[in-house]
Structures are given as C-alpha cells and as structure tokens.
Structure 1
Amino acid sequence: MSLTGFTAPWWFLLLIAVAAVAVAYVLAQRARRKRVMRFANLELLDKVAPKTQGWIRHLPAVLIVLSLLVLTVALAGPTAEQKVPRNRATVMLVIDVSLSMEATDVAPTRLKAAQDAATQFAKNMTPGVNLGLISFAGTATVLVNPTTDRAGVVKAISDLKLAQSTATGEGIFAALQSIESFSAVVGGADGPPPARIVLMSDGKQTVPEDLYAPRGAYTAAQAAKQAQAPISSISFGTTHGSVNIEGRPQDVRVDDDSLREIAQLSGGQFYKAASADELKKVYADLGEQIGYELKDADASKPWLVIGTLVLMIGAAASLLIGQRIP
C-alpha cells in the first residue's frame, strides 16, 4: 500500500498507549517469572506446573499489539493516489467530414471507421464529463453542445455527412466558442471546468490555405492554448489514400505534420492512427486520460480490514494456546 499522507495524523498519539500495552506485557511476564522462581521446591514445580510452550505462548499478545498498530494507522486516515472519475470537465469532439474521409485505405471507409471509434469513445466517457460534437469540412457545425447525455452525441455521430473542403481552423474556433459559452453557464465558485478538444482529421487544411491566417488552424491552436483548452489531435489515415472526385482519382494522403503542430501549439498531444483498430485504441487512451484523474483518496479500508483480521486471529490464538483471551 503506497501512501501519500494522512488526514488525521494526531491519531498516531495512540501509539503511546500501544507501546504502553507492549511494555506492560513484558513487565508482567518478568514479574510472573520472578514469582515462579520463588517456589522453593523446583523438583515439585516441574511435576505440577504445565509444560512451557516456549515463544509460541507470546504469539497472541504479539498479534494483538500488531493489530492495534494497524488500526491506529487506519484511524489516522491514510490517503493514496487513486484514479477516480472526473466529476466536471468539458470535452469537444471535432471530426473532419471532408470528402477525403470517403477513402477506403481504412476499411470500410475512413468515415465509417471514425464513426465507430467515436461512438465507442462517447459511450465509454465517464458520466461527469460534458461531451460535445462538432463536424467540419468547408465550414464547422456544432452538432451537440456539451452535455452528459451520450445518446444525442451517439446519434449525431451516426448521422455525419461528407462535404467539400477542409477548414480545420473553423472547427477549432467553433469548439472554443462552444466551450466558452458552456463555461459561462456552469462556472460557479470553482471557476469553469477544465476543457479539452479532441480533433480528428485525415488531411491538411484547405480553407484558408495559410495555416497562420486569422481563421487558420495554427492561429486557432494558439487561441486554444490561451483559453487553456489543449487539443489532442488524431491524424487518421495512410499515405496511400485516394478518392474519386468528379470522376478523377485524388490523392488524399494523411497529413501528420500539420496535426502534430496543432497539438504542439495548443499545449496538447498528437496521436497517429493508420487503421480502425489503432483509432479505437487512441480513443480508448484518450478516454482514460480525459475521463479520470489522479487524486489523494481515502485508503483506510485495507488497514481497517487487516487490523480487524489480525485482532480476531490474535484472540483465537489466545483461546487455543492459553485457554483465555488476554
């Protein structure tokens, strides 16, 4: 058991009493020995006195003192770092629905694989997290505002439709606007809940072409950093993807570099997924990372259980060895 601290360390003062019990037992044993040695006829004593049990006769007392030590630790309120579900957070899922998502380099298509993985992500997200959904192609659309109702998010994911162009910056700006509006409503005394943007795209921004333009992806990523809403970007697809647009095959290879830069500029993390299974794993990792946090939680129960069990064993040993409870 790894401990990080105690909520009521003053209970350790009871260790003085535990030490006093141990000392009293040792003194009692010595006094008993002296009384025995006063018996004049040692030969008769050997005949009438029960056979000594050696060190084992001290086992009940040792177990009882040990149980008192463990129970004292339990009373002191030990804490340990534990993974607990978040009870307040805002996550915006931003999904690219540009025509390149029709590529079949990820079976059956990039879009279908993305829908399956995003659905799993939404269903497995911890209940305390408010999840929203945005789709973007040439423009961005807020499909679901942050909510703890997963049904609406799952339905919107299943209804995603493809469109032309890729305006990644617009998707990020729409997510920031949704986060800001939601935080203004639920802020409270503790301030707005922590926010995160999960951006999944398969290609480079095309509208505008300049990623540092006022509505560009890099500019949006910098704004996300200022808003303390880091972006977890997922680069989804392969380098050999292609789609037919107006009867002509178009190369739609995945663009890792821009998505990696978006994550870096926002203070977030970059993920690479070249298959449906890899995408599901990325979403699962993000679900663990976003949905849970490490906190110092109460860890006294194991100490209480162990202390009680040792005390019971000590009492049973006393009955078996000395035919009495000390």
Structure 2
Amino acid sequence: MYFTFTDPKYLFLLLVVPLIVFIYLLTLKSIKKRALKFANFDAIARVQGVSFFSRDIVTTILSSIIVLVLVLSVSGLTLHRQASASSFSFVIAIDVSRSMEARDLLPTRLDAAKETAKEFVNAAPSTTKIAVISFSGNSYIHQSLTDKKDMVIDALDSVEISAIEGTDLYEAVVTSSNLLVAEESRAIVLLSDGQVNVGELEDAIRYANQNDIIINTIAIGTKEGGETVYGISKLNEDTMKALSYNTEGDYFDAQDKQSLLDSMGQILKLAKKKVSIDLSGYLVLVSILLFVIEYILISSRYRLLPF
C-alpha cells in the first residue's frame, strides 16, 4: 500500500499550517505581555474572554487540520493497494532482442520463453483474456486481448527475433498498458534477460504504477550467460527485480525450462490486482465536518468544555 498525488504542485500550500501555528504563538505572546500589566493571568483572561492555552489551542489545531486535509484533497491524494482478483487479463511480453538467441536455455532463450508462455496459456482459466506482444528496440502486437487460446498460441508461434536492435522496456510497458486500459484487473508477464539499453527503467515503472498495472517478470537466461553474435550475454537480475518489485509484481529466477513452467503456474495462483482510491472526496467531507465542529466550539465559546 502506498500513496501518490495527482496534483502535487499544490502541496506547497501546506506551509499555511506552520503559519497558523506561528500566528497563534505570536498572538499568545502579545496577550501575555498585556497580562503582565495586571500581574494576574486569570484576571486578563476574564477581561479578554481568552484562555491562554487550552481553549484557543483547540481551534488552532482544528484550523491546522482543516487546512492540511483541504490541501491533501486539492493535491489529489490517492491510495494504492492490492486486492484479490476474481478474474484477470494478462499481456505476455516477450523480449526478442538478439541476446535472446543465447543457448544457455535450450534450444534458445526465445524458444524456451515461447514454450513456457504456451504452457501458461493452456493453464489459464478459460475466461482469462491474454494478449501477446514482442519487444526489442520497438514493440509489436501479435495478438490483442482475447479468451480464445488457439489464437494466443498462434500469436506466440509467430514471435521471432527482431532485426531492430535494442531492448526498450518502456515502450513494451506502454504498449501493454494500452491493451489493458479497459480491463479491471491488469497484469503484464514479461519474459526477458534484462539486457535493457533503450529507454528509462524508471519511466517504465512510473507508467505502470500510474495505470495500476502489475508487472511479473521472469528472468530468461543464466548468470553464466550464453553465446550470441555479440559475445557472451548474461542475465541482468537487477533490472528484472526492480521492474517487478516496484510495481508490486513478482520476480521469478528461472534457470531452466522446468523453472519457467513453475513460474508461470505461480503467477496464475498469485493473481492480484491494484486498486486506486481517490481520497479527495472523503477529505472534503472530513474538512466540512471539522469546520462544523470548529464553528460550534467558537459559537458556544467552549461552554461545553471542562477547562
């Protein structure tokens, strides 16, 4: 669970809170100076109709809280949390950069990823919608969301190594998000060796979180690496872990084909979704309630308070 703001530019208004406290303390100091002329604080309190601490501080605290709540409201405070998903829609995103030609997973990383994805499709409930994209320096949609498994399998068969160089995770996340935009429960299953050299990882994470998308990553490859036309290509775990952990997904380190199959099954069992709750409306109601309480206290001049 975490919080974000849709309009953080208004947070500077929180400076009003310490300003209210400062004005209160300044006013209190001024009244106390005047009270010294009487040499009796109780006497000046009766004359001025003011309590030096306990009573006035109540309205000061209430005013500060009202300002705080209103600022959080206009700033678009949003709560993000996870919830169990009764149904789910997935985008299978497969890395097709040249490093996926490595043979540390036989026959190649790409072939192992495709076969594993097929097992995932076959194991998914019949109502599950699945789409397929591939990505390298750009992204390509092989199949939009559908619950027809034969179409998804055909799409996976069409995935091949791309002639376009690079691995752009950000574009892969954007493309996947566009396919999932109308779905209630959204997740990406991303299979890659983590060798990212195009686009910013932070941008991909930010975009996924803004769209309530969970990214489950499956590492394709080994730490020892495999031969490619560019030399030895090793698994980059850090990239894959960062992508999954920062989007509340799960990371799976699959060192062989059986591990890949187990990972896909685990993702289906752990089906969860992100839920975003805009707290602005609730905060406005709270501020109205506090304002009414403050008004009642001021109008009654604290007659109901024991101090």
**TM bucket normalised to smaller:** 0.5 to 0.7
Q: Which residue of the partner structure matches residue 172 of structure 2?
A: 171
One-letter identity of the residue aligned with 1:235: A
| Aligned equivalents of 2:143, 2:86: Cα separation in 1 | 20
| Aligned equivalents of 2:210, 2:180: Cα separation in 1 | 13
Q: Which residue of the partner structure matches residue 218 of structure 1?
A: 202
One-letter identity of the residue aligned with 2:214: P
SS in 1 for 2:173: helix
| Aligned equivalents of 1:87, 1:265: Cα separation in 2 | 23
One-letter identity of the residue aligned with 2:172: G
Q: Which residue of the partner structure matches residue 75 of structure 2?
A: none
In the TM superposition, 1:243-254 aligns within 5 A as 243-245=227-229, 249-254=230-235
How big is each residue's C-alpha offset from its partner over 1:43-74, in whole Å with a ceiling of 9 and x where there is no partner? xxxxxxxxxxxxxxxxxxxxxxxxxxxxxxxx
Q: Which residue of the partner structure matches residue 74 of structure 2?
A: none
Offset, 1:87: 6.0
One-letter identity of the residue aligned with 1:173: V
Aligned partners of 1:126 and 1:291 also within 8 Å:
no
| Aligned equivalents of 2:158, 2:271: Cα separation in 1 | 25
CA, structure 1 residues 220+291, in 2 after alignment: closer, same or farther (shift >3 Å)? closer
SS in 1 for 2:271: helix
Question: Which of residues 207, 211, 214 in structure 2 aligns to 1:227?
Answer: 211
Q: Which residue of the partner structure matches residue 108 of structure 1?
A: 107
In the TM superposition, 1:94-243 aligns within 5 A as 94-163=93-162, 164-180=165-181, 183=182, 192-208=183-199, 216-243=200-227
| Aligned equivalents of 2:266, 2:109: Cα separation in 1 | 20
One-letter identity of the residue aligned with 1:172: V
SS in 2 for 1:266: coil
SS in 1 for 2:264: helix
Q: Which residue of the partner structure matches residue 28 of structure 2?
A: none
Aligned partners of 1:223 and 1:266 also within 8 Å:
no
Q: Which residue of the partner structure matches residue 88 of structure 2?
A: 89
Question: Which of residues 264, 267, 283 in structure 1 aligns to 2:248?
Answer: 267
Offset, 1:232: 0.7
Offset, 1:167: 1.0
Offset, 1:287: 2.2
TM superposition score normalised by structure 1: 0.55
Aligned partners of 1:170 and 1:217 also within 8 Å:
no
TM superposition score normalised by structure 2: 0.58
Q: Which residue of the partner structure matches residue 266 of structure 2?
A: 285
Unaligned runs of 5+ in 1: 1-84, 184-191, 209-215, 293-326
Offset, 1:86: 6.7
| Aligned equivalents of 1:291, 1:225: Cα separation in 2 | 14
SS in 2 for 1:135: strand
Offset, 1:288: 2.4
How big is each residue's C-alpha offset from its partner over 1:93-113, in whole Å with a ceiling of 9 and x where there is no partner? 111111111111111111111
One-letter identity of the residue aligned with 1:205: V
Offset, 1:119: 0.4
- Higher Cα radius of gyration: 1
Offset, 1:289: 2.4
Q: How many percent of aligned residue pairs carry the same amino acid?
A: 24
Bigger mean CA deviation after superposition, 114-123 or 262-271: 262-271
Q: Which residue of the partner structure matches residue 3 of structure 2?
A: none
Unaligned runs of 5+ in 2: 1-83, 274-307
In the TM superposition, 1:13-24 aligns within 5 A as none
How big is each residue's C-alpha offset from its partner over 1:201-244, in whole Å with a ceiling of 9 and x where there is no partner? 11321113xxxxxxx23211222112111111111111222334
One-letter identity of the residue aligned with 1:134: I
| Aligned equivalents of 2:272, 2:248: Cα separation in 1 | 18
SS in 1 for 2:268: helix
RMSD: 2.0
One-letter identity of the residue aligned with 1:109: T
Aligned partners of 2:173 and 2:207 also within 8 Å:
no
CA, structure 1 residues 244+224, in 2 after alignment: closer, same or farther (shift >3 Å)? closer
Aligned partners of 1:233 and 1:269 also within 8 Å:
yes
How big is each residue's C-alpha offset from its partner over 1:149-171, in whole Å with a ceiling of 9 and x where there is no partner? 11111111112110232111111
| Aligned equivalents of 1:237, 1:136: Cα separation in 2 | 17
Offset, 1:276: 0.9
CA, structure 1 residues 88+287, in 2 after alignment: closer, same or farther (shift >3 Å)? closer
Aligned partners of 2:99 and 2:228 also within 8 Å:
no
| Aligned equivalents of 1:91, 1:129: Cα separation in 2 | 8
